[in-house]
Amino acid sequence: MTQKSTHVKPALGLPEFIALMALMTSLVALSIDAMLPALDAIGTAMGARDIHESHLIVSLFFGGMAIGQLFFGPYCDTRGRREAIMLGLGIFAVGTVVCMLANDMQTMLIGRVIQAFGVSGPRIASTAVIRDQFAGEAMARVMSFIMMVFILVPMLAPMVGQWVLNIASWLHIFTLFLLVAVFTGAWFWIRQPETLPASHRKPFSWAQFFRSSLFIVTHKPVIGPTLAMGCVFGGFLAYLSASQTIFQGFYGVGEMFSYIFATLAFSIGLASFINSKIVMRLGMYRVTQVALIGSVVFAIIFLGIIEMFDGLPPLVITIGSLFIGFFFVGLLFGNLNAMAMHPLGDMAGLGAAIIGSLSSIIAVLVATTVDSYLTVDLFPIGAGFLVFFTLAFIIIRMSLQRPDKPAESLS
């Protein structure tokens, strides 16, 4: 099926457009990472039964996004980009208010899932806005600028969260989310026109949805990287959810947590930057295989170090080990997603939503399982890395095929 081009002339100057899109896409990272310094305080205020329940404030966010991506993927193609973004920001704001009014952990978690569902709208539709207005090298240039900003957010967000805690309380982290959502929505509504003309919109089809889903789950070059992505991200999400417990609880670093987190986030950002320089020369398949081997070797060594120090290595060794390991993880995130997307052809839009949702669901299940064993040391985190990084390596080895061309359209 031949599709008409939807590219339209950009309405905003490039600097303003990049700033707006970077803010839109960074709302996800801000909503997760700014919460990390406050997890214990929120858990105490909400009457959490244990630290594992507090970790759900982070991990269940990805569950909400898994549902949201399935909804907003087709929605922004059917109803337009502006409507999807504004609806998503509105739902995000409602979820934020629910969290602010929560008196128990159950209500807090419901609010977080609503937040995550809503933030999926701007995350997905903003990428579509970029694709509508830029193509080829121009799109790559815009995305590279946006990624430079996006990489900074996970590094700075915990510092912002800690700053809010120092001058106010955890409640006002949600106030910050609400202000950012309102500001972003107003900026977008006033300055950015619709980029998907009504003539290019496609009605949602359940038949197409089920055909695309069936193709994804039965096509090894698609489902393999999707499952591997879920395993890798699940291992990392287990760390992410528990990072405040690990560094402030186990190591007692206090407010230094945000700086340690930023250092480790920089490793992932550095890997993303280097990957952008080498992937065209070496290919995503080769880079992925090397990164998987590196991640498994890291997990073996890290678990050995944990064993050597009876579960809790010195802080500097833990940070150094994780910095190296997360570099390999950073190489895998983009490449596994690209491998899963490569064979989809005309199914790319809906396929991206299905792949993102499936990998997120797997990651949440992995992370909650690993974190349920976390008590006083790093054994569960190290074992989770080893089990699920190794599983990802095996899955890719079993499913790795170099497709010569994208799959034919099923529409």
Q: 102 near 46, Cβ under 8 Å?
A: yes
pLDDT of res. 144 = 63
Q: What is the rounded distance in angstroms from the CA atom of residue 371 to the CA atom of residue 126?
A: 33
- Rounded distance between C-alpha atoms, residue 194 and residue 20, angstroms: 14
Amino acid type, 351: G
Alpha-helical runs (H) found in 134-168: 136-167
Domain 207-399 annotated CATH 3.40.50.300: no
Please give the Cα distance from 116 to 75 (Å, whole number): 16
10-residue stretch averages of pLDDT, the chain, 411 residues long: 52 84 89 94 92 92 92 87 94 97 96 96 86 67 69 87 93 96 95 86 80 82 92 95 94 93 90 81 88 97 97 97 95 84 66 84 94 94 97 91 43 38
| Domain 9-192+200-204 annotated CATH 1.20.1250.20 | yes
Q: If you ran DSSP here, which 8-state letter would residue 375 be given?
A: S
pLDDT at position 99, please?
97
The pLDDT of residue 348 is 58
Residue with tokens 């790559």: 140
pTM, two decimals, is: 0.84
- The amino acid present at 340, given as its one-letter code, is A
Q: What is the pLDDT of residue 137?
A: 56
CA distance 34 to 15: 26
Q: Return the structure tokens found at 154.
A: 């996970």
Q: What is the pLDDT of residue 160?
A: 94
How far is the CA of 114 from the CAs of 27, 61, 171, 311, in angstroms? Answer: 14, 9, 17, 37
Res 311: pLDDT: 95
Domain coordinates of the chain in residue numbers? 9-192+200-204, 207-399
CA atoms within 13 A on the CB side of 304: 6
End-to-end CA distance of the chain: 7
- What Rg value do the Cα atoms of the chain yield, rounded? 21
